[in-house]
Amino acid sequence: MSSRPPSQQPTFITMTADLGNRTAAVSNTAQPVQQAPAQPISPSSQAAIRQQAQHGEIPTTPTSTSRLIEAEDDDIGVAVNNVPTDRNEESQDEKPQDEEKRSPSSPELDRKGTVEIRHNGRLVLHVGTDGAKSGRRTLIVSLDIIKNLSPQWDAVVAGSAHKCLSRKRHVRLPEDDADMMQVLMYIVHTLFVEVPENLRFSQLLEMAQICRRYGVSGKVLPYISNWANPHRPKILMQGYEHWLYIAWVFGFTEDHDQLTRHFLLNCRVNKEGVLMKPGTREEFSGYIPQDHLNSIRRTRVKTLGSFFDTTYNYVFSMEGGNICQASDGLPGQPPLASDERTSCTFLNHGSMIRYLKMWAFWPPVTNVDKVRNSINEVADILTRIPVVALNAGRHDSVTTNGKVTADNASASRHAVCDAGRVLAVEIEKMLQGIQS
């Protein structure tokens, strides 16, 4: 391990390289919807609105969503979703088991097998699978609206390779969540009365996945705050680790930075050096991109390397000279013995090495990747070296916490020499650099 002066601090990084651009992209995609104050709508009126909307009989008013194009394309065929997924492996619902009970209720969606979102729509989306949590659903939508949503959607719609007798084009989306795709279709078809006010954490995660995959984060921008705010107080809890992905997709910069620091400070690694979720023995999996995790791991290694470099440099400095800072020659104080400063240094040197051995940090750690403790755990160990001070008159050491008497007056003079306290100050400075 290369030496580094104790005052040199590592450069800490966060995974926000494209987050600012992402935020700008989301903001530019859609304008916030300016809505009049909500008025009560009777059940019969809601039913009438739904029926009119499905038949294209009511005009579209919000400017934040795609314009409803009346002309439909006569193209025919079947397209299969080839958009790459961001999941590292099969997605998992990793929230606490009781989160479903504490979270807002599930939206009351029409979950019948086929949902006609646009009357006589010429694009048919076959979403999900029978074994998925939301099941499988067929959504009949406007071809022109969907293909103009984003380049990703245009590529999906244009990917038809087979002709069939029907005038409709069919797209199969087995990897997408049927509920959240249905909500997205309501939004882009301006059926706002059908859009739920609340989403569970697992649903919001699926919505983020869909928005990321098809480049339509801006389309849900008017709703995202209401969906996200109920969950924000819980994002540091176990089971909410994937909020980092939600924050990345929707441009929640503060949430993203907060979770990044939380993972950096509190993640341990297993024997293979793979990051584990804070407070657990589970590896990260599912939605969080691997480059995010690699960035956290690299910064973790750099930080721990700085901790150990600072510690070992201080230990080695005691071998080449005295670190004793005891005052000498002040009125009312006896002069220091000729070898007192050397004895003080010996005491600090020996006690520090013995303490480091207790934690397997001595002999010096040469491969920081093998340290499985979190940054906070290592910092706690290195800032809790027992406080000892030389008592030259009694030829032993005492703590500096007791009342100063004639017997421990010499010890009080050496309290400022405590090597553990000096090291703790340096470690705390580096921790503050991460937290700020």
Each residue's pLDDT expressed in tens, for the chain with a length of 436 residues: 444 444 444 433 444 444 444 444 444 444 433 434 444 445 455 555 455 545 444 333 333 333 322 333 444 444 555 544 444 434 444 444 455 544 444 457 777 789 999 999 999 999 999 999 999 999 999 999 999 999 999 999 987 545 455 688 999 999 999 999 999 999 999 999 999 999 999 999 999 999 999 999 999 999 999 999 999 999 999 999 999 999 999 999 999 999 999 999 999 999 999 999 999 999 998 788 899 999 999 999 999 999 999 999 999 999 988 888 777 766 767 777 768 888 888 888 999 999 999 999 999 999 999 999 999 999 999 999 986 777 755 444 444 444 434 444 455 677 778 888 889 999 999 999 887 7
In this prediction, residue 249 carries a pLDDT of 96
**Given 215, 236, 262, which residue is the final one in a domain?**
215
What are the backbone angles phi and psi of residue 396, rounded to the nearest 5°?
A: -150, -165
Q: Are residues 64 and 185 in the same domain?
A: yes
In this prediction, residue 50 carries a pLDDT of 53
In this prediction, residue 329 carries a pLDDT of 64
In this prediction, residue 63 carries a pLDDT of 34
Phi-psi region of 56 (alpha: psi -120 to 50; beta: other; left: phi over 0): left
Phi-psi region of 127 (alpha: psi -120 to 50; beta: other; left: phi over 0): beta
In this prediction, residue 17 carries a pLDDT of 41
**Given 215, 238, 253, which residue is the final one in a domain?**
215
Contact by Cβ (8 Å): 320, 342: no
The reply to whether 132 falls in a domain is yes
Per 3-state DSSP, what percentage of the chain is helix, strand, and coil (rounded to 5)? 45, 10, 50
Q: Are residues 314 and 169 in the same domain?
A: no
**Given 172, 187, 215, which residue is the final one in a domain?**
215
What are the backbone angles phi and psi of residue 225, rounded to the nearest 5°?
A: -65, -45
How far, in Å, CA of 241 to CA of 227, rounded?
17
In this prediction, residue 121 carries a pLDDT of 94
In this prediction, residue 81 carries a pLDDT of 53
Cα atoms in the 13 Å half-sphere on the side-chain side of 363: 3
Q: Are residues 329 and 207 in the same domain?
A: no
Cα atoms in the 13 Å half-sphere on the side-chain side of 31: 8
How many structural domains compose the chain? Answer: 2
The reply to whether 42 falls in a domain is no
**In the structure encoding, which two tokens stand for residue 266, read together?**
């509190």
In this prediction, residue 48 carries a pLDDT of 53
How far, in Å, CA of 14 to CA of 127, rounded?
36
Contact by Cβ (8 Å): 208, 250: yes
Cα atoms in the 13 Å half-sphere on the side-chain side of 310: 26
Q: Are residues 301 and 197 in the same domain?
A: no
Nearest CA-CA partner of 356 in 306, 417, 308 = 308
Residue corresponding to tokens 């995202």: 224
131: amino acid identity, one letter: G
Q: Are residues 191 and 317 in the same domain?
A: no
How far, in Å, CA of 255 to CA of 14, rounded?
12
Q: What is the DSSP string of 362-392?
A: -SPPS-GGG--S-HHHHHHHHT-PPP-EEET
The predicted model scores a pTM of 0.72
Q: Are residues 197 and 342 in the same domain?
A: no
Q: Running DSSP on this structure, what letter comes out for residue 36?
A: P
Q: Are residues 55 and 181 in the same domain?
A: yes
The reply to whether 275 falls in a domain is no
Q: What's the CATH code of the domain at 94?
A: 3.30.710.10
The reply to whether 34 falls in a domain is no
Q: Are residues 193 and 58 in the same domain?
A: yes
Widest Cα–Cα separation across the chain? 107
The reply to whether 134 falls in a domain is yes
Q: Are residues 428 and 331 in the same domain?
A: yes
Q: Are residues 63 and 210 in the same domain?
A: yes
The domain in which residue 324 lies consists of: 296-435
